[in-house]
Amino acid sequence: MLSIGATSVDGFDALGYHWDVVEERAKEFGQTADRDQWRLVGPMHLAETREQAIQDVKFGLNDWCHYTQKVLAAPHFRAAGESFEERVAWVNESGLGVIGTPDDAIEQIERLEKQSNGGFGSYLMMDTEWANPAAQQRHYELFARYVKPHFQGVATGPKRSEDRAIRQHKELGNRVEKAVQAATDAHFEAAATDNS
């Protein structure tokens, strides 16, 4: 199943129901529904900071919103707001998408996982042309560098190590100081022995 409107206000609230329908229909045709094959689609634009992301989408967000409000015949995917600020707030606050940071993207995908009542296979980004090509490229780089590893598990070991280092920061620092002092003392003792 490809849930194009997964993050629309109606779609977000109905994800679990969508999957129930998929399972029912699969049974009717003697098939087994596989959540790993379920694709959810939604828009987002990422930058290093929310402020930068908002600045980036000044390039095309208003045009996109106008298109959804006046041209696209899809009421469930119609932008709200008339001003740029209202439209940014609508994207972020409604759950439709993310104009923010990689952490915001992770939170969005985790909300979708929870709302789906069991998970899904992939999150696909809707290319909205909210930002200029250079900012879009940076968006994809940030997604690949920070968001994908979070869900693929490749960051689990390093994150666990970082968390441990933070918890034991003082103790580890003391151990390093003692080790450096012991090595320094051993060096000077060896040098004094060699000079005698």
Q: Can you give the CATH number for the domain in which 18 is found?
A: 3.20.20.30
pTM beyond 0.85: no
Q: Give the model confidence (pLDDT) of 52-62 as tens digits.
A: 999 999 999 99
pLDDT in tens, 95-138: 899 999 999 999 999 999 998 888 999 999 999 999 999 999 99
Same domain, 28 and 111: yes
107 and 35 part of one domain? yes
pLDDT, position 9? 64
The pLDDT score that the predictor gives to residue 87 is 98
**Number of independent structural domains in the chain:** 2
- Nearest residue to 47 via CA among 125, 140, 133, 110: 140
Q: Is residue 167 domain-shared with residue 113, that is, in the same domain?
A: no
Looking at residue 11, its pLDDT comes to: 52
Which positions of the chain have pLDDT values less than 70? 9-13
The letter for the amino acid at 28 is E
Question: Does one domain contain both 164 and 97?
Answer: no
Whole domain around residue 24: which residue ranges?
2-154
C-beta of residue 37 within 8 angstroms of C-beta of residue 124 = no
- What was the pLDDT predicted at 136? 97
Q: Are residues 80 and 112 in the same domain?
A: yes
